[in-house]
Chain A
Amino acid sequence: MLDVRKLSKAFAGFVAVDAVSLAVETRQTTAVIGPNGAGKSTFFNLITGHLRPDSGQVLLDGRDITGTPPHRICRLGIGRSFQRTNIFTRLSVLENVQAALLAHRGRGHDFWSRSERFYRDEAEELLGSIGLAHQADSTAGTLAYGNQKQLELGIALASDPQVLLLDEPTAGMSATETREAMKLLERIAGERGLTLIFTEHDMEVVFSIAEKIAVLHQGRVLAKGTPAEVRADAEVRRVYLGERP
């Protein structure tokens, strides 16, 4: 599905992502973990075209999409959420999702209809499935933090992605909220047949739902494999889980 080959990016000489390769199968759930500053967000930004890699390739279904601008990548079927919540704060929750639907269906060039008439039912249904139906008319910026994260998921889903990249989907949530959010994610990924890639600091969450884990450290892949393999990896235990041999 998604095949990342030797991706590298340096900022003013500082190598943030160093020859990272990662192949992800369709419908697989992959976690990218690593300490703060490991390069996880940068890695995502390289895939989604927000940053241009210095070298390396990104292949989607065998097609080279390296260096494609973000709006095209989105149209090719990669959705994402951002680490710092990224929603349209002054629109209502419903309008957020509606806008994403309009954009995805190429309706944005339409000058002569009324935007609020489009895709109402679909938007409401989507909000229902992520548990925000009761908030549909609230202004997005006034939502609680957790709900904003949910809404961002809704916006990403509106573009009907095949691959979904989530940068710390549960950051700032309480333990209960985190569990619920991950349950929701698992359900939606299952229903829609999504290929999910996410970063996360909560190891319990990671090991409970990831089928594959890649560990980044100082921009490099330290280990990758099944949760069991990663858990057993001596290097990971030493560097990341903070154990001394």
Chain B
Amino acid sequence: MAASFLFSQFVGGLTTAMFLFLIASGLSLVFGVMRVVNFAHGTFYMLGAYLAWQAVQWLSPTGENFWPAALLAALGIAVLGAVVERLLLRHLYGREELYQLLFTYALVLILGDAAKFIWGTGQLSVTRPPVLAASLHLFGAEVPLYNLFIMILGPLIALGGWLVLNRSGAGRLVRAASYDREMLDALGANVGTIYTGMFVVSAFLAGLSGALVTPIESVVPGMDVEIIVQAFIVVVIGGLGSFWGTFWGSVIYGQVLSFGILIFPGFSLFSVFALMAVILIIRPWGLFGRPIR
């Protein structure tokens, strides 16, 4: 097998991984702090992609305004997140976990169809921003600059997120909230604001990744559920609520998916399934998660 082929599989896997990481970290963050598994997180990602496409159409279909369009889309999704949390989700906090879960699930159904209604069921695509339209030749493989950009952006966001969580006052509050809600309440911190903040940040991340994926993948209905299932598998591998767990979980997922094609042609998902099964057997709480007992 040619080295160039292996290398391009590797790069493909890493690109997938970085998108997954952006999605899964938002999911994990909301779970860690609010104990809500947000099924609609993938839908935020999809809507981010659609909004980015829309913004590109408005601003300039030729693509030189991709960056503002992406930012606009991410901000739009952040606003959507704020509205959802403030108007609806908030009223379910006192209720059983089941209700919060079902609520986010209802959003998947409603927003998914809303997107179909607005943008139809066809494939939409966005051209790569001109700055990054070129490709590099590395180890005999052709690597688009845009992918390279994503591969650098992912770890940067990871590092930035980690620094914010561990070194800033706001981050300390967030981590405290994930340990002990009542304690934080007692200390007079405004838990409600922290929750809204977390939800908005995670929606922003989802919207941003959706926007950034548009030059690589076409925007289609169904990408929401596809990505959320992948994100679930990532957090199961890495450990739900663990920051580095999501990072390494994504990287492993991406590589297994890329190279799984070589082992089970046509069934690369099967290798991911096998990986998840093995991890659930030997470390049910995930590679970086904490055991419950």
Contact = CB atoms under 8 A, between A and B. Distances in A.
Task: Verify whether A and B have any Cβ pair under 8 Å.
Answer: yes
A52 interface: yes
B293 interface: yes
A50 interface: yes
Nearest to A69: B293
B290 to A, nearest CB: 8
Contacts of B293: 49-52
A210 B217 CA distance: 71
Nearest to B179: A12
Contacts of B179: 12
Interface string B269-293: 0000000000000000000000101
Interface string A174-196: 00000000000000000000000
Nearest to A49: B293
Interface string A31-58: 0000000000000000001111000000
A131 B293 CA distance: 35
Interface in B148-202: 179
Interface of A: 12, 49-52
A42 B264 CA distance: 48
A76 B179 CA distance: 33
6 contacts: A12-B179, A49-B293, A50-B293, A51-B293, A52-B291, A52-B293
Contacts of A49: 293
A192 B179 CA distance: 41
Nearest to A51: B293
Contacts of A52: 291, 293
A49 B293 CA distance: 8
A82 to B, nearest CB: 16
A69 to B, nearest CB: 8
Interface string B189-230: 000000000000000000000000000000000000000000
A141 to B, nearest CB: 13
B161 to A, nearest CB: 20
A94 B201 CA distance: 49
Contacts of B291: 52
Interface string B251-276: 00000000000000000000000000
A31 B293 CA distance: 25
A48 to B, nearest CB: 11
Contacts of A50: 293
Closest 6 CB pairs of A and B: A52-B293, A51-B293, A50-B293, A52-B291, A12-B179, A49-B293
A96 B83 CA distance: 43
B244 to A, nearest CB: 15
A86 B147 CA distance: 53
Nearest to A12: B179
Contacts of A12: 179
Contacts of A51: 293
A83 B291 CA distance: 23
A63 B212 CA distance: 60
Nearest to A45: B293
A50 B179 CA distance: 18
A12 B291 CA distance: 12
A52 B285 CA distance: 15
A79 B293 CA distance: 19
Nearest to B290: A12
A12 B178 CA distance: 13
Nearest to B291: A52
A12 B241 CA distance: 15
A52 B293 CA distance: 6
A50 B293 CA distance: 6
A66 to B, nearest CB: 12
B46 to A, nearest CB: 36
A49 B292 CA distance: 12
Interface string B34-60: 000000000000000000000000000
Nearest to A52: B293
B289 to A, nearest CB: 13
A188 to B, nearest CB: 30
A35 to B, nearest CB: 16
A12 B179 CA distance: 10
B143 to A, nearest CB: 41
A213 to B, nearest CB: 29
